[in-house]
Amino acid sequence: MTVATKLRLASGVVIAVLVAILAVALYVPTRLNNASNEKYGNDAIPFQGDVQALLRQKTEQKALADRYSLTLDNDIEQEYFSAALSVNDRLNALTSYRDRLPGLNRLIVQAASRSSDVDGALLLQMDLARARDTSGVRAAQRRVDRQFARFGFTADLMLAQAKRFTDEALQEQDQTYDQLLISLSALGALGITLALALFLVVPRRVGQLYESEQRNRREAESRAEAARALEHVSDGVILTDSEGVIQFWNPGATTATGIAEHAAIGRPLHRLLPNWGRLSLQHDGLHGGGSALVPVQLESERWLSVTSVDFGEGVVYAIRDVTEERALETMRSDFVATASHELRTPLTSISGAARTLVRHGDSLTPDRREAFLQMIVTESDRLAGIVDQILLANRIEAGQIEITSEPVDALSIARSVVDAVALHAPPRIRLRLDADNGLQAVACDPDRLRQVLRNLLDNAIKYSPRGGDVRVSLEPNGSAMRFAVHDEGIGFEPSDADAIFERFRRLDPSMTRGIGGTGLGLYICRELVERMSGRIWAESRPGAGSSFYFELPLAREAVGAG
């Protein structure tokens, strides 16, 4: 039974007791009143009055007979008869009590007969007085006295009976009164006990209920607040119960795992995320506040860094998607390996050539000495190129490069780049520039345009180890100038066309085996083109050569007009 039901029950009992007290308090006085009215007020008292009146009238009748006997006055005689009639009327009236006051019947009949006995004696007395028989009158008076005494005795019996009735009524009243007192006291005591119990228990229980309700409300509020706060936390937060069933799943968890909250809540975590089992194996230390990396296979493989706290009733997991960081980290370490290899190659050549010149310089022919010196120059340039690329990429990332915009004769820039590259290009490469004369000017930074073209051309040659055509073309396309660099080299998978523009991104070493690079060239190209309000993309198939395109906006004015 709940506390509320108990309280309701107790209050119901108290109300019932109070109603009972009220009913008893109303009923008993009514009964008392009825009883006294019936026996006492309606019957016994009037009866008493009638009997007393009868006695009085009979005494008066006797007195009138005595007065007549002395005076023989006719008026007194008439008065006597009317008194006798009144006595009869009174006796008749008394008979009406027979039904209501049982046991009186005999006495009333007796009173009537003794009254008529008195009447007989009185009439005799009056007759003897009329006959002037003085001694007979005296004898008759004595007889009257005797008869009257007997009548008086009956009247006294009737009064006594009436008194008994009133006494009985009073006694009954007393009894009913006592019953009332007892019932009221019992009910009152019960009521007071219950009220006291309620008084003592209810405030405490209500207080406790209020307290616990307050506590629950505060807890619910703080839970809701925590949940609201967790909605805005970018890290994933997952709460499982002791069975590992998910109870809470914030939007960060949805972002990290790609699984919506409604699909997660109520499901066991290890079933929802493949590999989660591995985490718990890997990782008892995790529950002590450490963190672990879990690969999770969703649409693509994602790496989650998971921290967890076991709080007895369940576990809270904080999840961060570190896929990007991990990729970056891998790229960085790849870069360190690549860059150090890239730097080492020209350094080795330079140091080899320099040593040869130092040790055997004198014995070398002038041509050979020249060749070694040329090697030092070329490799130093290459070294400087690599270092420049690394520095430029860093400056781009730090937002430290300045880019101007002016009307530029793109064709002449392209021609100068192609000419410069051609100087060093391997003989198997056939370089070509396709463009109409009189092209509209391009709005860009001429040095950066030169750099982009140079990078793309260098790549085209570098990734065409077997030689072939390398063609640069320029043609207007709407409001832009489209530049293209085509080669017939090793190409790449179309699916890599976007990735190769990422920083440090080099394709599978098996594809580019033997071809050095830092993975920064295309990244630099993309950043520069985009900063000049253009776009860049690539198309290729493995073994079928590659085409790199970029577009820059046309200038409104002609070259030199700005």
Give residues 186-205 in contact with ligand ADP (rule: CB under 6 A).
none
As a whole number of angstroms, the distance between CA 318 and CA 321 comes to: 10
Name which of 400, 442, 426 is nearest 553 in CA terms.
Answer: 442
Taking the least distance from each CB to ligand ADP, the nearer of 346 and 517 is 517
Taking the least distance from each CB to ligand ADP, the nearer of 364 and 484 is 484
Taking the least distance from each CB to ligand ADP, the nearer of 468 and 476 is 468
Please, which residues have CB within 8 angstroms of residue 253's CB and are 6 or more apart in sequence?
A: 236, 237, 238, 259, 261, 264, 319
From the list 21-29, 302-310, 311-319, 516-524, the region that binds ligand ADP by CB under 6 A is: 516-524
According to CB under 6 A, which one of 451, 518, 527, 532 is a site residue for ligand ADP?
Answer: 518
From the list 14-22, 76-84, 271-279, 517-525, the region that binds ligand ADP by CB under 6 A is: 517-525
Q: Does 521 bind ligand ADP (CB under 6 A)?
A: yes
Taking the least distance from each CB to ligand ADP, the nearer of 97 and 523 is 523
Q: Does 54 bind ligand ADP (CB under 6 A)?
A: no
Cβ atoms < 10 Å from Cβ of 464: 23
As a whole number of angstroms, the distance between CA 487 and CA 548 comes to: 9
Residues 249, 238 contacting (CB under 8 angstroms): yes
Please, which residues have CB within 8 angstroms of residue 453's CB and are 6 or more apart in sequence?
A: 413, 414, 417, 472, 483, 485
Cβ atoms < 10 Å from Cβ of 54: 22
CA distances from 354 to 364, 366, 407 (A): 13, 15, 45
Q: 428 exposed, middle or buried (CB, 10 Å; 0-12, 13-18, 19+)?
A: exposed
Closest approach, Cβ 523 to ligand ADP, in A, equals 6
Closest approach, Cβ 542 to ligand ADP, in A, equals 9
From the list 10-18, 241-249, 253-261, 505-513, the region that binds ligand ADP by CB under 6 A is: 505-513
Give residues 476-495 in contact with ligand ADP (rule: CB under 6 A).
487, 489-492
The residue at minimum Cβ distance from ligand ADP is: 517
Residues 393, 363 contacting (CB under 8 angstroms): no
Look-up of token digits 């820059």: 552
From the list 201-209, 302-310, 315-323, 499-507, the region that binds ligand ADP by CB under 6 A is: 499-507
Binding mask 267-306 for ligand ADP (x = CB under 6 A): ----------------------------------------
Q: Does 517 bind ligand ADP (CB under 6 A)?
A: yes
Taking the least distance from each CB to ligand ADP, the nearer of 457 and 552 is 457
- Helix, strand, coil percentages in the chain from 3-state DSSP, rounded to 5: 65, 15, 20
Taking the least distance from each CB to ligand ADP, the nearer of 276 and 492 is 492
Q: Does 382 bind ligand ADP (CB under 6 A)?
A: no
Beta strands, E only, 387-453: 406-408, 429-435, 442-444
Residues making contact with ligand ADP (CB under 6 A): 459-460, 463, 487, 489-492, 500, 505-507, 512, 517-523, 546
